[in-house]
Structure 1
Amino acid sequence: MGKEKKSKNRKRSRSRSRDEKRSRKRHNSSSSSSSDDNKLESKLSDERSRRKKERKLEKQRLKDTETAEERMLRRKEKKLKKDQKRKAAVETSIPDELAYTNLNNPFNDTKLTETFVWGKKLEREGKSHLSRKEIEKEARKRIERNLHEAQEFKRVRDARLAAREDMDMMQRDADRREVSNWDSKEQQFQLDQAKERSRIRIAQNRAKAIDILSRYIRYGDEDKTDEEKKNEEEFELEDPLSCLKDLTSDDYEDLIEDIKVYRRLEDDKHMSFWTDFRTIVDDELKKRREEDGRREGIHGSLKTEVMAMFKV
């Protein structure tokens, strides 16, 4: 039993000594870390003080070397910065939306940001007991309310103007459609008149080439009105090229102009027919002009003799 007690005591003493060593190590490490932190903090403070001293020396050097104008400008800037800081610290009754200052406002009022206190009015309204701060707060709320109402009025006005512009645009579109309808009606009227003139000339046996061609292409139309079907007379279909016989150069030119009119009035209708026939008429006109030139020109042999005479 005695031996066991002694062994237990030895173990306890050993464990106690180990714990003490560990605590000493922790204390030493913490003390070393705290000392390192203190050293770092001292270094940083020394560095800050050094930089501050350098800035101060640099500032003093600039002051010593500056001219009178630079000194005046520097002092004005410094004063302006101080005024701005002071104004920013003081609460004003002017909302931020207005962006007015004592130096920049359309009223040239150097005390614009200061709240005007009307003592008699406050007494009449029973508000003479209010403090300066409360009066400024009420004034600010009143101005903000007025600004909100003004913005609402502006929004309503803009909406009214937008609605009016929409109505004007709709009216312009309606007018444009109506004008386009008038143009189409006028074009149809001119086409009907051209057809009527052709019908009258054919009935009076003085038909032109364009009248024969117009009657030829109208014969196969499926969109003819009842009146056109009623007034339509029977005729014998012939080759449309037969109307080009025995035409003079003037007749060909008149026919070209008439084809242009029909192409413009009928839009895309019968476009291929008029295009092909215009090509034929142009070719016939070219041939006719060549024939007329040969008739009116001088024979080749005579022309050579005349040129030889002039050369001599």
Structure 2
Amino acid sequence: MPKEKSKHRHRSRSRERRDHRSPDPRSSRNRDRDREREREKDRDHRDKERDQRREREKDKSRDKKREHKSRRRRSSSASSSPSSSTSSSAPGGPRSPLAKNSMKLLQTLEARRLVEQKDRQRKKEELKAHETPEEKRARRLREKQAKEQRRRERMGWDNEYQTYSNEDNPFGDSNLTSTFHWGKKLEVEGLSNLSTKTVEVLSLQKQLENRRELEKVKKRRQERELERQVREDDLMMQQRAKEAVQFREWQRQEDQFHLEQARLRSEIRIRDGRAKPIDLLAQYVAAGNEPLESASRCRCTSPMCC
């Protein structure tokens, strides 16, 4: 009996050790899953707190701006009140109702704008409060991309290069989006002690100057092209006018030639005895006009000379 008890104790102890050494994998997975959920909850809670803190800061800054605007409006109204009283007492007093109406209209428009701004802000906050972590990450990614695009536009990037990034570009440049710093050149120019932001501002100014120069060159080239086109148009119009005059002369000569040929054919038919009625009529008309033509050709003053 003692041996059996000792064996039983030994088996129970070995089983306890084995259970202690090799825990159940299902329970470990559940614990890992619970830890992951707790981390996700903590992360969401921190994100919400950060968003709320940002919103509070924005509200404070907005309230400060409104107070500043209201103070300026009060000061402007206080400064304009003496002038309005003098204008009402002056002969031009009837203008004061118009000024009051305009002030009321401006105040109503300002109040409406503030209400719309509050509505937009409230809707934005509601969307932020009800969005999932995936939607939040997507929204932040979109905001980051929009910010990067604005920065590239300020740097002077064209639409062709807007889609390029450090990882995806045909130049194989891993620092494409960052500003290039030419250390030796900055040392020669005495600008090596400047900060990177100052160097970026200087490079941006230089890019803008180069762009303005290119615009000027392009404008001058367009003006030259326009002047050349005008000259070519003038030359073409002159050439067309000359050709029109020459064509009219050719047309007149052609008509004269055809008329002479018709007369010659008529004379030949009359001489050969096969005249047509039109040939005889033309002969009679020519015979009747011949004295007039001879008189017009005569230069003497005596009427009996011809």
Give the TM-score range, shorter chain: 0.3 to 0.5
Structure holding more helix per residue = 2
Using CA pairs under 8 Å that are at least 6 residues apart, name the structure with larger relative contact order, 1 or 2.
1
TM-score by length of 2: 0.41
TM-score by length of 1: 0.41
